[in-house]
Amino acid sequence: MNLVVNGNDVNIPDSVQTVLALLNHFQLENKIVIVEINHSIINKSLYEETNISDGDHIEIVHFVGGG
Amino acid sequence: MSDRYSRQILFSPIGKEGQAKLKNKHVLIVGAGALGAANAEVLARAGVGRITIADRDYVEWSNLQRQQLYTEEDAKQRMPKATAAAKRLRKINSDVEISPHILDVGVQELEALITHVDLIIDAADNFDIRLMINDLAQKREIPWIYGGCVGSYGLSFSILPGLSPCLMCLMETIPIERVTCDTAGVIQPAIQMVVSYQTSEAFKILVEDDQSLRRTLVSFDLWKNHHRSIDVSSLKKQECLSCGKNRSYPNLSYKNQLKTAVLCGRDTVQIRPSHSLPINLNHLADLIGDQGIKVEQNPFLLSFAVEDVRLVIFKDGRALVHGVTDVVKAKSLYHRYLG
Ligand SMILES: [Zn+2]
């Protein structure tokens, strides 16, 4: 399926169906992130049950500690 | 002298009135690494009345690529960053009252530092300190500005007590980063970008132009050409333990405080003594020198090498043990020389 992630067109295997799977796909599962799909923020407790669909605009912001 | 702030006063959102407000404000900068040094320089040049800057580290050669207040001389002499920063900042603007503190910021230290502070700038390099700042800022109702940076990526968010979500609302849990810290390096433009976001928000807060505050979580990757700004206000949680109705400030509890810490990506262990009695560096230098070990010293710290390890001892009794990541080994070396 085709998504726009952080402004870039990306093609994701169809097996990736949820927000959690998407984070795993990008190897971000251990990072603290904020996920926004089509301009609404997804609550962390809903990552596993929130589906993603073709054409979604997704923003993923991860927290970093360096300074 | 009267011309000094003319360009900033001509900028109408600041103006004469804003300039006078800046002069009466006090900013605490936690950390004097890349973010801290750059933030401090902007605020000092702008004429913020008082700047307090706290840092636990000293200047090394690897800092010079991005930590803009420091020189080769500082690295050669292993000057504590807070001291080196204050020296440079006073040269940049002698009107500003600069208070440097060489210490590892824990809850007690932070409690003491934030008295009469109008704004806290986060320039820390780890989330343990940030979450402490988060909870204490909520408790004392002081705004603070988070900034983080790694590689070409960075982000910033202003935490306004009572108005915005706090960092705990946004993160919910502590990043695993504290265990597997990032070693991806960092480039100076990314630092400057974070600092631009932090200091422009700082100006707005200090001149009390609340209308103009950004209020979004901003992030960017300068190498991948990404920029985004997300409205996170929906993440403010009533049940948040740091900023919600029944708050307990979990990040201020003493069990959350480490006596030893492995510093990220640096093969370094920091050891904090359980007491905080200043030590006599000259006396210690003699004792170690008597064992045939070459000791280097400046007024703030001493350092010496044994085997592959270098120990740096500060006046407050803290030690940085370089060349080890094993806390037990670091501790045993510490106790061998400091009892
Ligand atoms: Zn909160």
pLDDT at B180: 47
DSSP B215: -
| Residues near ion ligand 1 (Cβ under 5 Å) | B 166, 168-169, 240, 242-243
Mutate to test the interface with B, among A35, A61, A62 (most CBs of B within 10 A): A61
Q: Is A46 on the interface with B (CB under 8 A)?
A: no
Report how far residue B160's alpha carbon sits from residue B134's, in angstroms, rounded to the nearest whole number.
10
Pairwise CA distance, residues B243 & B250, whole Å: 11
Known catalytic membership, residue B181: yes
Residues of B in contact with A40 (CB under 8 A): 234
For each successive 10 residues of chain B (339 residues), what is the average pLDDT? 89 98 98 97 98 96 95 97 98 98 92 96 91 96 97 96 96 64 81 98 98 96 92 94 95 70 80 76 91 93 92 91 88 83
Q: How far apart are CA B333 and CA B294, in angstroms?
A: 16
What domains, with CATH codes, occur in chain A?
2-62 (3.10.20.30)
Cα–Cα distance, A18 to B122 (Å, whole number): 34
- For domain B6-256, the CATH superfamily is NAD(P)-binding Rossmann-like Domain (3.40.50.720)
pTM for this model (two decimals): 0.90
Partner B contacted by A57 (CB < 8 A):
no
3-state helix, strand, coil split of chain A in percent (to 5) is 15, 35, 50
Q: Is residue B198 a contact partner of residue B156, using CB atoms and an 8 Å limit?
A: yes
Distance CA B199, CA B36 (A): 11
Question: What value does the mean pLDDT take over residues A2-12?
Answer: 93
pLDDT band at A25 (very low <50, low <70, confident <90, very high): very high
C-alpha closest to that of B83 among B198, B261, B27, B73: B73
CB A34 within 8 A of CB B171: no
In the chain, the amino acid numbered A39 is H
The side-by-side arrangement of strands in the sheet containing B309-314 is B260-263, B268-271, B319-322, B309-314, B301-306, B295-298
**Cβ B78 vs Cβ B298: under 8 Å:** yes
Query: Tell me, what's the pLDDT at B19?
Result: 98
**SS3 of residue B284 by DSSP:** helix
- The domain covering B260-338 belongs, at the CATH homologous superfamily level, to TATA-Binding Protein (3.30.310.10)
B283 Cβ contact partners less than 8 Å away, ≥ 6 residues apart: none
Q: Given CB atoms, is A32 within the 8 Å cutoff of chain B?
A: yes
Give the Cβ contact number of residue B336 at 10 Å: 11
Q: CA–CA separation, B84 vs B73, rounded Å?
A: 10
| Per-residue pLDDT at B301 | 94
What's the pLDDT at B254?
63
Q: Are B270 and B104 in contact (CB under 8 A)?
A: yes
Q: What is the pLDDT of residue B304?
A: 95
Under a CB-based contact definition with an 8 Å cutoff, are residues B216 and B228 in contact? Answer: no
Residues on chain B touching A4 (C-beta within 8 angstroms): none
- The beta-carbon neighbor of B126 closest among A7, A59, A65 is A65
Would the CB atoms of A65 and B31 count as touching at under 8 Å?
no
- Ligand 1 center from residue B171 Cα (angstroms): 9
Q: Mean per-residue pLDDT for A20-45? A: 92
Distance from Cα B22 to the centre of ligand 1, integer Å: 28
pLDDT of residue B273: 76
- Asked if the C-beta of A61 comes within 8 angstroms of chain B's C-beta atoms, the answer is yes
List the domain boundaries for chain B.
Answer: 6-256, 260-338
Tokens of B320: 């940085």
Q: What integer pLDDT is reported at residue B190 of this predicted model? A: 97
Would you state the pLDDT for residue B179? 43
A17: closest CA of chain B, how far (Å): 23
Cβ(B118)–Cβ(B204) below 8 Å:
no
Which chain B residues are within 8 Å of A8, Cβ to Cβ? 226
Q: What distance in Å separates the CA atoms of residue B302 and residue B9, rounded to the nearest whole number?
A: 45
Per-residue pLDDT reduced to its tens digit, B136-188 = 999 999 999 999 999 999 999 999 999 999 999 999 877 665 444 556 789 99
Q: Closest chain B residue to A67 measured between Cα atoms? A: B125
Residue B292 exposed, middle or buried by CB count within 10 Å (0-12, 13-18, 19+): exposed
Catalytic residue among B166, B181, B243, B264: B181
